[in-house]
Amino acid sequence: MARNAKWASAALAIVLLLSLAVTAQALPILLDVTGYGYNVDYQPGPGYLAPDGQNTLIGCGPTTGAMLLEYYTRHGAPGLIVDPLADARLMGSATYMNTNAGGFGPSSDFHFGLEEFAYDRGWIVDAKIHKEPTTHVPSPGWDGVYGSDLVLDATFWNTTTWNINQGAFLDFLAAQIDAGNPVSLSVASEGIGGGADHWMAGVGYNRDTGMWAGYNTWDNSLHWYTPTSAFMDTDLGTAGIQVPAMSIAYVRTFTLVGPVERVAAIPEPCTLLLLGVGSIGAAVMRRKATS
């Protein structure tokens, strides 16, 4: 009887451990990014006022930027964002993201405007844009604009149909989220295939459901989406096909490098080499002088 009781207890313990493991796997992985709904509408009506009382829209790019940089402010970069609403408006100015009165701006200005805004606040944030490698054709429009910020590792596309490999996309996203870095995604917000018209912040994933989490910038609520492709079937002559809303076109990742002053103070490899050669030379001269 005692032996049976021991086996029963051991079996129960195993069942409980397995249950806990399954429960742990089901938990979504989320970064504590704060959602802002500053990009409230694309077509303001007469007398429209944005959240800060102005009559122009902040836009999805600056709103996404405010979410990303405010997250870094709370995780090692004090002073990067002071007032999320005012700073989002400033990020949308001609100095940075150059959004117009309707909240729209060039894609490259979102990329470099965010980096420049961070730099002016005393921090280096490195943005990378990721493209599918096997079909990339070097061009001034990509290589010339983004240079070393262009990374050819977005292997989650099916390059025949341009559907998205959901598992591969979650792997890509998880690598960033697990490292503590939110991402930005350009998406087809209304479900029109062949491109993207909207920025949003990607902040989490769930392996069990196969979904990713983000803020669409029209409100401050977290939303869950199944990875779908904004480019689906566009190479088969069906451009304009309706795809699910928030289908993904491009992904940008970000790394908080450090304070401008500290990073600038680190000698480059060539400088270190010259310093090393100079030190050796000085040591030789001292030895000769004492011999």
CATH number of the domain bearing residue 69: 3.90.70
Six token digits for residue 103 = 């909240």
**Assigned domain for 150 exists:** yes
Whole-structure pTM value: 0.81
**Assigned domain for 239 exists:** yes
> Average pLDDT in the 31-43 region?
88
> Average pLDDT in the 191-215 region?
90
Per-residue confidence band for 234, with pLDDT thresholds at 50, 70 and 90: low
Over residues 150-176, the pLDDT tens digits come to: 999 999 999 888 899 999 999 999 999
Question: For residue 116, which of 105, 127, 106 has the smallest C-alpha distance?
Answer: 127
**Assigned domain for 280 exists:** no
**Assigned domain for 247 exists:** yes
Predicted confidence (pLDDT) at residue 57 exceeds the cutoff of 80: yes
Q: Are 115 and 255 in contact (CB under 8 A)?
A: no
**Assigned domain for 279 exists:** no
Burial letters for 171-204: b for 16+ Cβ neighbours within 10 Å, e otherwise?
Answer: ebbeebbeeebbbbbbbbbeebbbebebbbbbbb
The pLDDT of residue 3 is 54
Contacts of residue 203, defined as CB under 8 A and 6 or more positions apart, other chains included, come to 30, 31, 33, 177, 182, 213, 214, 215, 222
**Assigned domain for 271 exists:** no
| Number of domains within the chain | 1
The chain-wide mean pLDDT, for the chain, equals: 84
**Assigned domain for 138 exists:** yes
Six token digits for residue 192 = 């029109």
| Residue 182 domain boundaries | 28-266
Query: What is the percent of the chain with per-residue pLDDT over 90, rounded to a whole number?
Result: 61
Over residues 111-162, the pLDDT tens digits come to: 999 999 999 999 999 999 999 999 999 999 999 999 999 999 999 999 888 8
DSSP state of 159: T
CA–CA gap between residue 89 and residue 97 (Å, rounded): 10
Contacts of residue 72, defined as CB under 8 A and 6 or more positions apart, other chains included, come to 80, 81, 123, 125, 254, 256
Q: Are 69 and 82 in contact (CB under 8 A)?
A: no
**Assigned domain for 236 exists:** yes
